[in-house]
Amino acid sequence: QVLLVESGGGLVQAGGSLRLSCAASGRTFSSYTMGWFRQAPGKERTFVAAISWIGGSTYYADSVKGRFTISRDNAKNTVYLQMNSLKPEDTAVYYCAAETNRRLRLGVKPNEYDYWGQGTQVTVSS
């Protein structure tokens, strides 16, 4: 069982920045692929970014590429999502997720992840 707890959401003006954090339980965090997804009201949960358990490779949705950065600190069992140049369309509940089967391919679909946090609200005003 892996417990994920997100923090760092809030209200920000367009063009501003936020950093989300996701703290994970467990002694094998370094072997998890970690992902961030988001879900706007009335819409499906969509992929934002992922970071591999091996080599630290990353992958981003086109909509956030160049603005968002995913990173991890294995010593702190934490994954981060730095969000810059925020837009109103970035408004959503943001979820972190863990994939614990040591797959080499970074997942972009929700069903490729095994554990989820409770989500943190990000609201970007225009």
Largest alpha-carbon pair distance within the chain?
42
Confidence of residue 122 (pLDDT cuts 50, 70, 90): very high
Q: What is the dihedral of CA 108, 85, 77, 36, to 10 degrees?
A: -20
Averaged confidence pLDDT in the chain: 96
pLDDT per position as a tens digit, 5-35: 999 999 999 999 999 999 999 889 999 999 9
2 three-state secondary structure? coil
User: Alpha carbon of 13 to those of 39, 49, 66, 89, 115: distances in Å?
Assistant: 19, 22, 19, 12, 31
Looking at residues 89-117, what average pLDDT do you find?
Answer: 95
8 A C-beta contact, residue 120 and residue 7: yes
